[in-house]
Structures are given as structure tokens and as C-alpha cells.
Amino acid sequence: MFTAKAVIFDLDGVICFTDKYHYLAWKKLADRLGIYFDEQINNRLRGVSRMASLEIILERSEKEYTQEEKEAFAEEKNNDYREYLMTMSPADLSEEVKTTLDALRAKGYLLAIGSSSKNTKLILSKIGLGEYFDAIADGNDITHSKPDPEVFLCAAAKLGVPAAECAVVEDALAGIQAAKGGGMIGLALGGDAENCGLEDYDLKGFGDLLNIL
């Protein structure tokens, strides 16, 4: 059992899954630019900011691009991604996640989102959790993406809870690094967070939170 007053959740891969939409949008851009891109490369983008993700994709480019061009590429990708997101609905929120969140709230925990995505509020609204969380820290609030702890520290500050009293649920190694770097409890939920050696606990599933908190 862990002693915490608040639980901060990563969004993608924890609360819901939008990886496929990210992949489709980045693939569309890469194909247009004539750059090789596959799912293995896409895995390197998990938990990484939009601009940092673009730099990873452009590693395989034979051309050099200006900062202005890169910003245009990132905006193009985001527009395509948001179009895919518009197809999401409450059906994309699993019953296990919803019932576990409700049970944690009933136990008195404060609940927050800590995500590098600038589309966090749109995604939450589409899956029926638009007004659910006590605080949201996302890509619009930060200048450093994970593994920098900024987004989780921002969420803790918005909740008014000391970092040491926050548990973070993450599926990405960069997210666990961010949680531990911020002095928080790191709970790994699959992905490359699982068995990474930095986590405080490996969750067997989302509902396992009720067994340890």
C-alpha cells in the first residue's frame, strides 16, 4: 500500500488509447515528405512532445528544414490528428477505467491528468471526461516534455498537493522518469514503463490501483 493524497494519470495509453491516430497522422506527413516511417519509429515518440517527435522523424530526412517549416509540419500533423480524434466517443473509455476512477474519488483521492499532449482537453471531452478531473496539466502548460518532471509538478501545484504525496500512473519509461524526477510515486502500467527498474510498482491492470492505494 502507498500513502498518497492524489493520483496523476498520463492520458494516452493509460486513460485511453490514441496511439493509432498519432501514427496515422505522422505517417501521412512522413509519406508526403518522402521519409521512411514505421511503427517501430513511432514507438520512440510515446510521451514525447510534438516538436521533439518531429525531430525524431526528420532524422531520416535527406533535407534540412527551417524552424518555420518544422512548425508548419507540426501544425499539419496536428490538424490531421485532431480530425482522427473527432471520431472518438465515450465508447473509447473502458468500464474498468471509469469504475476505478469513481472508486478512487469515493476514497477521497484528488485526480489529475499530466500529459504532454496539447489536445488533452479535446480528448477528455470526446470520451466523456471533460469536467471529471480536479486538475489538468498538459502540453499547453509546459515548456519541457517528459522525462522532465514539469508536467507532473504542474499538476501537483494545480491540485495543491506536495509532490511526495502524489502517485503517477504511466505506461512510458519517460513518464516514470518524470515522476521519479519530481519526487513522486511511480506506478507502471504496461508499455516500456513496466519492469523499467525505476517504478515503485508494476500494475497488473488499471483496476489494480484499488489494491495498492
**Predicted TM-score (pTM) above 0.95:** no
Average pLDDT for residues 76-102, to the nearest whole number? 96
- Is residue 1, in this structure, part of any structural domain at all? no
How much is the mean pLDDT over the chain?
95
12: annotated active-site residue: yes
> How many other β-carbons are positioned within 10 Å of the β-carbon of residue 48?
18
Which of the listed residues 57, 85, 113 is the one where a domain comes to its end? 85
pLDDT at 85 over 90: yes
Domain holding 47, by residue range, is 19-85
Is 131 found in the same domain as 201?
A: yes
CATH code (residue 37): 1.10.150.240
Closest CA to 151 of 131, 124, 129, 174: 174
- Residue 1 pLDDT > 80: no
Residues 100 and 130 in one domain: yes
**Same domain? 62 vs 97:** no
Give dist(CA 140, CA 150) in Å, integer. Answer: 12
The last residue of one of the domains, among 85, 113, 134, is 85
Backbone angles phi, psi at 168, to 5 degrees: -115, 130
> Tens digit of pLDDT for each residue in 143-180?
998 999 999 999 999 999 999 999 999 999 999 999 99
* Per-residue pLDDT at 49: 80
Q: How confident is the model at residue 183 (pLDDT cuts 50, 70, 90)?
A: very high
Q: Which of 12, 80, 148, 171 is catalytic?
A: 12
Do 58 and 76 fall within a single domain? yes
Give Cβ neighbours of residue 144 (< 8 Å, ≥ 6 apart): 150
The enclosing domain of 177 has a CATH number of 3.40.50.1000
* End position of a domain, from candidates 85, 119, 134: 85
Active-site pick, 10, 138, 148, 171: 10
Q: Does 10 qualify as catalytic in the annotation?
A: yes
CB atoms within 10 A of CB 63: 9
**Does one domain contain both 131 and 164?**
yes
| Total number of domains in the chain | 2
